[in-house]
Amino acid sequence: MQIRVATFNIRNTTDRYGERQPLLGAAFAELEADVIGLQEVIFSEPRQDDFLAGQLPERHYRSLIARHERHPDFGNAILVARGDIQVHEELRLSTGRSAQRVLLVSEGRTVWFANTHLHHKPGEPEVRVEQATAIVNWMAEAPAADAVFIVGDFNTPPTEPAYTVMRAAGYRSASFEANGSEPPVTWPSGIQAPTMDTDGDPNCLDYIWYSGRVRISSARIGANVHPPGDPTIYPSDHFAIVAEAEVY
């Protein structure tokens, strides 16, 4: 089974959203993912997951959401355009964060797809270690499937211990496996705005992790183009990651 998976932190409705909304919609449509994990989604009307799904109406995306414990109009979402959804579950993490997972069946293959957004403070890597550990343990306890994908904004450079947690649990990074290295930068994009996040140094923070009967044929960053002549605005403050996978 061929499947295109992606992850994208869309930066809610801050950072010049009125200007970047059409860029965000076009970037999402260009990804054309079968399954995508979104972070920093606004669920108050008009919902951002609905807006993005509407960019590719022929894909008939179904949205499964996980609201932030402290901010119920804000959270993460998994958009599914392919496969029968068997299960949708959430795992509450510390600092109000969560992980969510769906079990998909397509072409006789079973796939767990999990999505998360880990703690953001650069000086507190131990919180991300605890959160990543909770997620890999949660997935280890799940019913067996042919493939497992865990995607999201991990707020974790490759040099941090939470990255090692994922590797030690048997997960491989699609970007690393396809290209021999992680992207140098997935945050910040280069966007300039009064509300922009400046907490931390530019680095790779976003990942598609996988395990099981999976072959990755390619992985790349997306949503990384600014309008001609204006390098101060991008679809989001993060780039997306998209990977082509075969589940065998």
Residue 154 pLDDT: 98
Return the percentage of the chain with pLDDT > 70, whole number.
Answer: 100
* pLDDT tens-digit readout, 208-247: 999 999 999 999 999 999 999 999 999 999 999 999 999 9
Domains of the chain: 2-247 (3.60.10.10)
Provide the whole-model pTM: 0.98
pLDDT 10s digits, 82-92: 999 999 999 99
Once rounded to an integer, what is the mean pLDDT over residues 180-190?
98
What average pLDDT does the segment 107-129 reach?
A: 98
pLDDT of 158: 98
CA distance 119 to 106: 33
- For residue 111, pLDDT over 90 is answered with yes
Confidence label for 120 from pLDDT (cuts 50, 70 and 90)? very high
Query: Stretch 37-53: mean pLDDT, rounded?
Result: 97
Closest Cα partner for 6 from 176, 181, 157, 153?
153
- Residue 166: predicted pLDDT: 98
What pLDDT band is residue 70 in, cutting at 50, 70 and 90? confident
Q: What is the mean pLDDT of residues 23-29?
A: 98
User: What pLDDT does 197 receive?
Assistant: 97
| Mean pLDDT estimate for the chain | 98
